[in-house]
Amino acid sequence: MTARTTPGPRERLLDAARQLTYTQGMGVGIDAILKSANVARRSLYEHFGGKDGLITEVLRRTAVVDVAAYRTTMDAAGDDPRARLLAVFDRLGEVADTPAFRGCRYLAADLALADPDHPGHAVTREYREDVHQILEHELVRLEHPRPGHAADQLQLLVDGLLAVAATRPGSGPAAAARELAERVVDEGRRAPA
- Per the rule left: phi > 0, alpha: psi between -120 and 50, beta: everything else, 25 is left
Question: CB of residue 139 vs DNA: minimum separation in angstroms?
Answer: 41
Return the CA Rg of the chain: 19
Contact 153, 129 (CB under 8 A): no
Q: Is 159 exposed, middle or buried (0-12, 13-18, 19+ CB in 10 A)?
A: middle
Question: Is 120 an interacting residue with respect to a second copy (CB under 8 A)?
Answer: no
- Residue 25 near a second copy by CB under 8 A: yes
**Closer by beta carbon to DNA, 27 or else 170:** 27
Q: Is 58 in the site for a second copy (CB under 8 A)?
A: no
Is there binding between residue 166 and a second copy (CB under 8 A)? yes
Verify binding: residue 180, a second copy, rule CB under 8 A: yes
Smallest distance from the beta carbon of 144 to DNA, in angstroms? 45
- Confirm or reject binding of residue 40 to DNA (CB under 7 A): yes
Residue 59 lies near DNA (rule: CB under 7 A):
no
Neighbours of 42 (CB within 10 A): 10
CA-to-CA distance for 47 and 42, rounded, in angstroms? 9
CA atoms within 13 A on the CB side of 35: 6
- Looking at the Cβ atoms of 9 and 134, the one nearer to a second copy is 134
Residue ranges that bind a second copy, judged by CB under 8 A: 23-25, 27, 102-104, 106-108, 110-112, 114, 124-125, 128, 149, 152-153, 155-161, 163-164, 166-168, 171-173, 176-177, 179-180, 183-184
